Amino acid sequence: MLKGIIFDMDGVLINTEPLHYQVWKKTFHDRGLEIEYDCYKGCIGSTVGYLLDLIRDNYGVDFHGDERLIDQQRKNKAVMIRGTGVPKISGVPEMLDRVHQGGFLMAVASSSPQIYINEAMDELGVTKYFTALCSGENVEHPKPAPDVFLKAARELGLAPEECLVVEDSTNGCKAARAAGMVCVGYRNPDSGDQNLEIAHAIIEDYVLVDAKLLQKIYDDAR
In CATH terms, 4-15+87-221 corresponds, of 3.40.640.10, 3.40.190.10, 3.40.50.1000, 3.30.420.80, to 3.40.50.1000
Q: Characterize the bridge pairing of strands 201-203 and 182-186.
A: parallel
How far is it, in rounded angstroms, from Cα 174 to Cα 168? 11
pLDDT of residue 114: 92
How far is it, in rounded angstroms, from Cα 130 to Cα 207? 20
pLDDT of residue 121: 95
Distance of CA 219 to the CA centre of its chain: 24
Q: How many CA atoms lie within 13 A of 178 on its CB side?
A: 16
pLDDT of residue 83: 73
pLDDT of residue 81: 78
Each residue's pLDDT expressed in tens, for the chain with a length of 222 residues: 999 999 999 999 999 878 888 899 999 999 999 999 889 888 887 778 889 999 999 999 999 989 899 899 988 888 887 777 788 999 999 999 999 999 999 999 998 889 889 989 998 999 999 999 999 999 999 999 999 999 999 999 999 999 999 999 999 999 999 999 999 999 998 888 899 999 999 999 999 999 999 999 999 998
Q: Characterize the bridge pairing of strands 132-135 and 105-110.
A: parallel
pLDDT of residue 196: 96
How far is it, in rounded angstroms, from Cα 196 to Cα 210? 20
Q: How far is CA 114 from CA 5, 118, 120, 205, in A?
A: 19, 6, 10, 27
DSSP state of 160: G
Q: Where are the domains of the chain?
A: 4-15+87-221, 17-84
Q: How many CA atoms lie within 13 A of 65 on its CB side?
A: 2
pLDDT of residue 154: 98
How far is it, in rounded angstroms, from Cα 94 to Cα 171? 26
Helices 147-156 and 170-178 sit at what angle, rounded to 10 degrees?
60
Q: Is the pTM of this model over 0.85?
A: no
How far is it, in rounded angstroms, from Cα 138 to Cα 150? 12
pLDDT of residue 17: 77
How far is it, in rounded angstroms, from Cα 87 to Cα 167? 17
